[in-house]
Structure 1
Amino acid sequence: MPSTLPPSAATDALTDRLLALLQWRSRIFHAGRYCGHWRASTAGHQLASFHWVMQGACWLHRPGHESRRLQAGEGVCLLRDERHHLSPHAEPAAVGAGPLQPMQAASCAAARGEDNTDCALVCGFVQFDGPQAAVLAASLPAVLWLHDGDGAQRALLPLLLAEARRMPDPDSPGPVLQRLSDLLLMLALREPLHQALQPRAAGRGAHGLMALAGEPALAPLLQALLADPAADWTAERMAGELHLSRASFFRLFTQAVGQPPAQFLLALRMQLAAQRLREGVSIARTAEQVGYQSESAFARAFQRVNGAQPGHFRRQHGATH
């Protein structure tokens, strides 16, 4: 059944479900304080990356884009690996005096001189997983901004800085700092996901899940699929959910999403299955929850879509978050 929630509440609920489906792993590269003449970048690793400013300020420089100042409480997540660097200088090519200074522990005394180059940062990498993760990430903006106006964020940043100050080595972040950084990343991801679900976003380069969510005529079907993925979702049943003929539904779905309904349903079920296995759900229960009565049939489908047997995937990724 389509959602009976008010439109705004239904969008919030769908945003949270998509955020859960956007499986990712992050790793802090380093966390500490830069002072004097410094330059930092996470480019060139073929991964998405992030930079959170815990204290002070710096400038983000991206070739072909206007430089942007980031102050305490702000951050950026670059979903594509692109050339960029952070520095204390407004001009990308500005050269300070002396050699580049390495990152120091966040607990070191701030060396704030007249040039105001002190900046405490958390920098790291993000990797997206699962069959629908790539299309979800591709539907988001290349750059996500974390602004200092969010209340949850304002509460997290002091905790992040306090935890970073406990670390004697900037290159050895602890588990608490990693979890706090993950929360900031979720905040950065949530708003663009919410925006992508608005009807005006339909047809603007979205693919897969995001195209389905952003198409008003099809969005109720996505809610129904997520609410009951184990149901017998034939093309006729999907068309009936939207009160369309089978031919009209197939044409609209394929045009909007870029793949046939059955192919999309398989990818969605396997993305949900990967989510369940990460949460520690048994293979048998996971298979049942995504519509498979046979564990062997589920294992074949999971292997085909996710590239690994369910047991191996669960041992490798289970209960990591």
Structure 2
Amino acid sequence: MGEKLECMFERLDSRFDVLAQVLEAAHLGRALSARIELGAPWALHFADTNRRAGFHVVTAGRCCVLLDGTTDAVELGAGDIVVFPHGAGHVLADQPDTPSIEIHEAVGNLAPGQRMSLPNAGSGAPASVLCGSYSFAPDGTNPLLRGLPQLLHLSAEKLRNTPLEAAMQWLAAEANGAAPGTALIIDRLVDLLFIYALRLWTAQQDASSPQTWFGALQDPVVGPAVHAVHGDPAYAWTVENLAQRAGLSRAAFARRFQQAMGEPPLSYVTRWRMTVAAGLLADGHAIAHVADRVGYENEFAFAKAFKRIRGLAPGQHRQRHAKQRTERTTQAESGFVE
């Protein structure tokens, strides 16, 4: 008799994922993407956009990037990717000293699918770049960006045989085609690129590098605590019961958490509860219901905490999003969707 075959069935869509939760809570709108093909000399200035994380993928040629206010250029070659987690202003150019134009002024009114010639490009060495951006909440409460530098550069050599390299190749292929579903696939690939880039960059950092939220998820002490809080935000979390899960004393756990996350454990608990609450309120749920869902028996205490963390009252937040839903419905009915 042969060995008995072990069979299983697992629903992958139902897996609990802290990162997916955070991205869903913070990602407000669809991704933006563009393809740029230029001949030297050329230089484009991308203004600071603190609500969008951006990236550039060099698919052909060479170029460089300079953060606003700096003179040190980062050289980029084919297969490189550079990410701006906080939407920092920067210049993308063939050479550091090439005069730049404002990209938003040049193409800001361009409709999806449209193309145009850029005014300052020449006929020299060609370069091809794929650009994308990813929108985040404007209130500064998104933990994902904590500890990340203004610019992340991953060279083609570091990307070899990684999922990020594959996603970049898929994006390039879709950008060069016009098959059915291309727009949707590109949107999903922009999401993948951002996550894969953060994964790879975090994995390549040494122990002396600044701590990030993404990296803290991998910490054997802090990671399980974060997963527990995200899995049940309404639970009566204390430093003591979180420390017990980690097998540490209260003081040792609090120090480890502060070091990894940049804030005390209960501050993180409250901030994540308010992030969950903001999403529920935006969906139109009643304030009393939302308060209960995030662990508050007292609606007044919830409202006070929400305003302290988010900067406005729960009712105001709910009304603002109700108005936005109405505006989107009106636009859709009139045939205009942003």
Same fold (TM over 0.5): yes
1:190 to 189, 195, 201: 195
Corresponding residue for 1:78? 84
- The two structures, once aligned, show a CA RMSD in angstroms of 4.6
1:136 aligns with 2:144: yes
One-letter code aligned to 1:138: R
CA separation of 1:23 and 1:288: change in aligned 2, threshold 3 A = farther
Higher relative contact order (CA 8 A, sep 6+): 1
Q: Distance in 1 between matches of 2:35 and 2:287?
A: 41
Match status 1:213 vs 2:217: yes
- Give 1:32-181 correspondences, 5 Å limit: 35=38, 38-44=42-48, 50=54, 52=56, 59-62=63-66, 63-69=71-77, 76-80=82-86, 82=88, 84-87=90-93, 89=94, 91-94=95-98, 106-107=114-115, 115=124, 117=126, 119=128, 122=131, 126-130=135-139, 132-133=141-142, 135-144=143-152, 150-157=165-172, 159=174
Structure 1, unpaired ranges of 5+ = 1-10, 164-175
Paired AA for residue 124 in structure 2: D
Q: Which residue of 2 aligns with 1:245?
A: 249
Q: 1:130 to 1:23 in 2, by over 3 A?
A: farther
Change (3 A) 1:223 1:121: closer
CA positional deviation for 1:121: 5.5
- 2: distance between equivalents of 1:279 and 1:69? 44
Aligned residue pairs, count: 286
CA distance in 2, matches of 1:143, 1:150: 19
Instruction: Within 5 Å, give how 1:238-277 maps onto structure 2.
Output: 238-277=242-281
Q: Distance in 2 between matches of 1:153 and 1:12?
A: 27
Amino acid at match of 1:183: R
Q: Is the 8 A contact 2:84 2:150 kept in 1?
A: yes
Cα distance between partner residues in 2 of 1:196 and 1:120: 20
Rounded Cα–Cα distance in structure 2 between residues aligned with 1:31 and 1:198: 28
Letter in 2 for 1:136: L
Q: d(CA) in 2 for partners of 1:313 and 1:161?
A: 41
1:253-275 Cα distance to aligned partner (Å, 9 max, x none): 34444433222211121122234
Identity in percent: 25
Residues 132 and 215 from structure 1, CA distance in 2 versus in 1: closer, same or farther, beyond 3 angstroms? Answer: farther
CA distance in structure 2 between the partners assigned to 1:311 and 1:228 by the alignment? 24
Amino acid of the structure 2 residue aligned with 1:248: A
